[in-house]
Amino acid sequence: MHRALLSIAAAGCLALALALSGGAARAQGVAMGVDGWDRSVAPTGTVFYRCTAPASCGQGSVASYRQQPNGPLPSLAVFRAQNESINRRMVEGSGGRVLSVDLIEIAESEVARAKVQTAIKAINHSDGRREYLATSVFSDGERHYSLVSTAAGEPMARANLQAFLPVVMLAAQIGGKPAPAR
């Protein structure tokens, strides 16, 4: 509940900032802090949030987002195939540190007139750890973003993804106006 209220408050502040700036700000360029998370930006433009309040967001949890090439999302079948390929490459490129990646769920929904595709995965490490990854890609038919959440437990990975989805959508101005015809 606390995390949901923080997300709503952050989204409201961001919406006000966007309105006052004439909508010129974009998600990658808005330096938005979220209570309980430390924000950093990688040279690639990916925005990372690392949990600093383990009681509410989970020890070691990380959420990140990045704008992707503009355009609509692929079909759900293509999204599944892309994730299966990513999972194989993750294992093959890990040097033995990742034993397997289990695809737990693939889903598609619509949030604020944006198409959202989500994959939930369990990453099985050679040291016995099991890490959870929740990832969503979303688009209003023009702009396209990815959002990733990792955590030690599946419920926390899902909760962190759900907490950041509306924040990133507001920052990107996705859902703030009617989506273009698909």
Q: Kindly list the domain boundaries of the chain, sorted by start residue.
A: 2-171
**Strands (DSSP E) along 92-129, which ranges?**
98-111, 114-125
Q: What is the pLDDT of residue 65?
A: 95
In one-letter notation, the amino acid at residue 69 is: P
Q: Identify the bridge partners of residue 119 per DSSP, sorted by sequence position.
A: 106, 135
CA distance 25 to 67: 13
Q: What is the pLDDT of residue 64?
A: 96
* Range 2-171 classified under CATH 3.40.50.300: no
DSSP 46-91: -EEEEES-HHHH-TT-EEEEEEESSS----HHHHHHHHHHHHHHHH
Q: What is the pLDDT of residue 174?
A: 80
Q: What is the pLDDT of residues 2-54, one digit of tens each?
A: 343 333 333 333 333 333 333 333 344 455 678 899 999 999 999 999 999 99
Q: What is the pLDDT of residues 124-147, one digit of tens each?
A: 999 999 999 999 999 988 889 999
Q: What is the pLDDT of residue 33?
A: 72
CA distance 153 to 142: 33
Q: Identify the bridge partners of residue 139 per DSSP, sorted by sequence position.
A: 115, 144
Q: What is the pLDDT of residues 74-88, one digit of tens each?
A: 999 999 999 999 999
Q: What is the pLDDT of residue 28?
A: 45
pLDDT of 67 higher than 80: yes
